[in-house]
Amino acid sequence: MSEEKFTKRILCIGAGYVGGPTMAMIAAKCPKYKVTVVDINEDKINAWKSDELPIYEPGLLEVVKQARGRNLFFSTELEKNIKESEIIFVSVNTPTKTFGEGAGKSADLQYWEKCARDIRGSAESDKIIVEKSTLPVKTAIAMERILSENDKGLHFDIVSNPEFLAEGTAIRDLENPDRVLIGSKETESGLKARESIVEIFANWIPRDRLITSNLMSAELSKLVANSFLAQRISSINSISALCEKVDADVSEVAFAIGKDSRIGNRFLNASVGFGGSCFKKDILNLVYLCETFGLYEVAAYWESVVKMNDYQQNRFVQTINSALFNTVTNKRIALFGFAFKANTSDTRESPAFYVTKKLMEEKAHVVISDPKALKNAKMDLKGFNDLIEYEEDPYKAAHKSHAIAVLTEWDLYRELDYEKIYKEMEKPAFIFDGRNILDHQKLFEIGFNVYPIGKPHLIHFKEV
């Protein structure tokens, strides 16, 4: 299609886990729009132009290939692309601040603010700016102030369109979302801008799933959605600890309560804990927001969700240590999975990172296995790399090991030949199922000592 034929020119700043897949989906569904994704990271942009995408996400390459070169483009040229586009999505990272006021809780907005200043510097026409990143409430107002301080007489409308996709199922979530939320100011131009964004998604998503709200509600809803999801995981994890004390089975409890339609059955799998770049960061962001407004009880309530997650990860390592006769020193421990969840290469805030660090402190010989995340694992653990083994093949990772800890729910770990694995392990052989995905009774019958989460331990000798 020639340049003139495009009916909208959309730019996205930030080609990460959100910017890349979201824009690929818009481009695939809307051939009449030109969609360009820019990033300051040249290697990442080159990877987006190749068949070795910078992130692993099932189905993503197919969607990218449908549109790339037709109406989907990847570039490092920020200025030119800002000038050319009418709508700019900003999807840069907003990590937890590590320094100064709010360190450890509030969002670090430096990348975000730089985008606002870059847009203001290069723009030559009015634009709609869409917040895709997850941000503290009222960031849109700050952005509007920065942008409106221009001496070119330009007008910018800010729209909040938080992303609800989950890594691992991003393509399915983008193609068929439960809802898309679009918030704006309720002024005439704000409502017009809101409608322009609704129009994009209406190309493939039914109108009744395109929800609109004011700016602050949209910004807050994203923080609240992630906090509620994480809260469910922490709630069931807290119960898993109790189940282990009273010989209850957390899966049976989850099934029984999940049958209640008021509770529902999703997000009730007990595990070693949640990870990922968003849950902890977004909850802490909410906590900081509450503290800022003096709502200390509300802040403490939500902070306990993170504390429970830390407790669960710690409890998992303690279980390994005490089962292995209170010493893991020099013992070979194979970790099955390093990604924070299945079907992604993302390792940010992965429980596996915490478990590895703790085991390294105890001088264990850790062998990390993962089908997609070994590259990221090596980067995360670069300080320890001389002491850690990385082995993609789980059979080789488990060979001569004293214990296996399952940390990511990859399907492939359900399907392994555990008889073969058992034969090649040191005895007594232990397996710690941090995701409750294995057939525990069968493993026990093979000879393993089995430690699931929130279920009775299956052991061949008396626990001391």
Binding residues for ligand NAD, per CB under 6 A? 13-19, 38-41, 44, 91-94, 111, 114-115, 133-134, 163, 165, 167, 277-278
SS3 content of the chain, % helix, strand, coil (to 5): 45, 15, 40
How do 389-390 and 449-451 pair as beta strands?
unpaired
Residue 71 C-beta: closest distance to ligand NAD, Å: 21
Residue 229 C-beta: closest distance to ligand NAD, Å: 11
Nearer to ligand NAD, 95 or 264 (CB): 95
Cis before 452 (ω within 30) = no
Three-class SS string for 437-461?
A: CCCHHHHHHHCCEEECCCCCCECCC
Residue 142 C-beta: closest distance to ligand NAD, Å: 15
Q: Number of H helices and number of E strands within the chain?
A: 17, 14
Residue 450 sits at φ, ψ, to 5 deg, of -115, 130
Nearer to ligand NAD, 170 or 407 (CB): 170
Kindly state the tokens that stand for 408.
């990511």
Residue 296 C-beta: closest distance to ligand NAD, Å: 25
| Nearest residue relative to ligand NAD (C-beta) | 16
Secondary structure (DSSP) of 300-332: HHHHHHHHHHHHHHHHHHHHHHHHTTT--TT-E
Residue 93 C-beta: closest distance to ligand NAD, Å: 4
Whether 102 and 288 have beta carbons less than 8 Å apart is answered as: yes
Nearer to ligand NAD, 167 or 433 (CB): 167
Whole-angstrom Cα Rg for the chain: 24
Q: Which residue has the tokens 């194979």?
A: 334
Nearer to ligand NAD, 15 or 404 (CB): 15
Whether 78 and 84 have beta carbons less than 8 Å apart is answered as: no
Nearer to ligand NAD, 92 or 306 (CB): 92
Residue 275 C-beta: closest distance to ligand NAD, Å: 11
Dihedral of the alpha carbons of 357, 363, 367, 372, in degrees to the nearest 10: 10
243 in catalytic set:
no
Nearer to ligand NAD, 16 or 190 (CB): 16
Among 12, 30, 115, 278, the active-site one is 278
Q: Which residues are known to be catalytic?
A: 278
